[in-house]
Chain A
Amino acid sequence: MKVYISVLKLRLSMGMQYRAAALAGVATQFFWGFISIMVFEAFYQHAVQTLPISLKELIQYIWLQQAFLVFVMMWFRDNELFDLITSGNIAYELCRPSGLYGFWYAKLLAQRLSSAFLRCFPILIVAFLLPKPYNLEPPTNITAFLLFLSALLLGLLLLVAISMFLYISVFITLSPMGSLLVFGVLSEFFAGLIIPIPLMPEWLQKIAYVLPFRWTADFPFRVYSGHIPEHDATIGILIQLAYLTVLVVLGRAALNGVLKKVVVQGG
């Protein structure tokens, strides 16, 4: 455990080096947030039927999504790990006295945490200060907030567990591009990052609710705005835990499986 924590610490301080890049990222995400809000506002303006999610809740959803983008994006990747696998330097990693799964998991987790630390606060603060219809509001009560926090953290752990499969798949395909694309497009869509899940047609919602992706983004953000009531949120957190356990166990098994087959050539 100690090893993993120090990996986490090291990566965090490394990630903190890139402050200018983070600022540029913040600006981009603001623009993105504004554009999406305006698009939805225009859609909602003449909506005839009652909608499954109110514009207010949607705005909370969008700002949280922008603030915690690195917690929920599959595209965010570690090229170093890909290089290790394709170049054969994986041999050095195998010499380490700690399990590879845990080691990589800690590394990936730390990368996402450090970039989120830099980016989320400026976005959240400014989003709170925005004029009335566009602002981010505090959650309805403290329970909702605590539920949101735990859902968000579990979502992050879940996303890292899913992204581990991306790296494992590179052992087989030797090129990250294909799997990155499949994982990226699918996870982005079914996590509700392109359109929120409540706005999807019924049949698509059914698919989205079965897949693990929505638990990383859609679920925590809707808990925050109160769109998912507290009782359901508690059950949801249990489901997140179950998914996490299953994915980590499967991921470990898969990684050990591919590692057994790895042939490191000399050179």
Chain B
Amino acid sequence: MSLYFKYLLIHFKSQMQYRTSFWLLSIGQFFIPFSIFAGLYFLFERFGQIKGWQFFEVALCFAVIHMAFSLSECFARGFDTFSSLIVKGDFDRLLVRPRSTFIQVLGSKFEFTRFGRLLQSVIVLLWALSNLPIEWSIPKAITLVLMITSGVFIFTGIYMLAATMCFWTVQGLEVANIFTDGGREMAQYPLNIYQKWVTRFFTFVIPFGTVNYLPLQYILGKAGGSDLVHMLTPVMGSLFILPCFLVWQLGVRHYRSTGS
């Protein structure tokens, strides 16, 4: 783990060498989800609600998923750009080092400019929270934090699966975008507005539902049944990364160099 933080520090220092470029990119990252959020706001201005969900409730959902997404893009970017490691043959170098490939790939790239994105979702989060009549308690606060961390785990898991595909296909596959960008787009609304099959798929196969819909009901006081179950769903969702990790190990064993 200390190796990971060393990587983190080195990358941060190196990106800070180009300070202006860093700030410009961060500001840019701030505005990309901003236009999506503006779209969401205008839709609510016209329609008032979506299947019984109010604007600030959906804004909370939006903020959580976008925070998770930007955090995972910032810290797990190494897996997202993994195909370039394979194509250039740089992965061979990682294999001969006496450390786990997981940490090394994770540390191969960080995208700190995603802080712009993160800042935008933090603002949305604060705005939503200050307008929602939630009776706060410690379990609820913990649930909120769990939602975000579990989101990061899920996105990272998808990146890992996509990276593992590179062992067989060499090039990265655009299909993974369905689950990262598409998953983000979809999970910014509470999951029950979609049709049954979408809800089921994204609860039991790729557990975005455990990040937003189920714990959100608990925080907003809409949950029927046991609070504890709703509270713990994000933890269950986080387990998604375990099979991804196994698949990754399998892929590493299967790896044959491109020879370049």
Contacts and interface: CB of A to CB of B under 8 A. Distances in A.
Contacts, number: 80
Interface in B33-62: 34-36, 38-39, 42-43, 45-52
A35 B50 contact: no
B251 interface: no
Nearest to B174: A24
Interface stretch (A9-17, A36-44, A212-220): A36-44
Contacts of B46: 51, 199, 201
Name, among A24, A25, A201, the residue most crowded by chain B CB atoms within 10 Å (CB to CB): A24
B50 A43 contact: yes
Given A27-B175, A181-B32, A199-B43, A38 B182 contact: no
A185 B182 contact: no
B39 A189 contact: yes
B24 A35 contact: no
Contacts of A209: none
Contacts of B42: 195, 199-201, 204
Interface residues of B, number: 34
Interface stretch (B123-131, B138-146, B190-198): B190-198
Contacts of B10: none
Contact of A181 (B28, B175, B177): B28
Nearest to B186: A35
Contacts of A169: none
Contacts of B24: 177-178
Contacts of B38: 189, 194
A265 to B, nearest CB: 21
A38 B43 CA distance: 14
B249 interface: no
Contacts of A178: 24, 28
Interface residues of A, number: 32
B48 to A, nearest CB: 7
Q: Is the interface of A mostly helix, strand, loop or mixed?
A: helix
A28 B162 CA distance: 14
Contacts of A175: 21
A25 B38 CA distance: 26
Contacts of A130: none
A26 B30 CA distance: 28
Contacts of A201: 42, 45-46
Nearest to A42: B193
A39 B51 contact: no
Contacts of B4: none
B28 A24 contact: no
Contact of B47 (A32, A47, A188, A204): A47
Given A32-B185, A47-B47, A177-B25, A185 B198 contact: no
B208 to A, nearest CB: 12
B240 interface: no
A48 B36 CA distance: 24
A45 interface: yes
Interface in A46-82: 46-48, 51
Contacts of A31: 178, 182
A28 B174 contact: yes
Contact of B182 (A32, A42, A45, A48): A32
Contacts of B178: 27-28, 31
10 contacts: A25-B174, A28-B174, A42-B189, A177-B24, A178-B28, A185-B35, A194-B36, A195-B42, A200-B42, A204-B42
Interface of A: 21, 24-25, 27-28, 31-32, 34-35, 38-39, 42-48, 51, 175, 177-178, 181, 185, 188-189, 194-195, 199-201, 204
Given A28-B177, A185-B31, 19 more contacts: A27-B175, A27-B178, A28-B178, A35-B182, A38-B198, A39-B50, A43-B47, A45-B51, A46-B47, A46-B49, A51-B46, A185-B32, A189-B39, A194-B35, A194-B38, A195-B43, A199-B42, A199-B43, A201-B42
Q: Which 5 A-B pairs have the closest CB atoms?
A: A24-B174, A194-B39, A42-B193, A181-B28, A195-B39
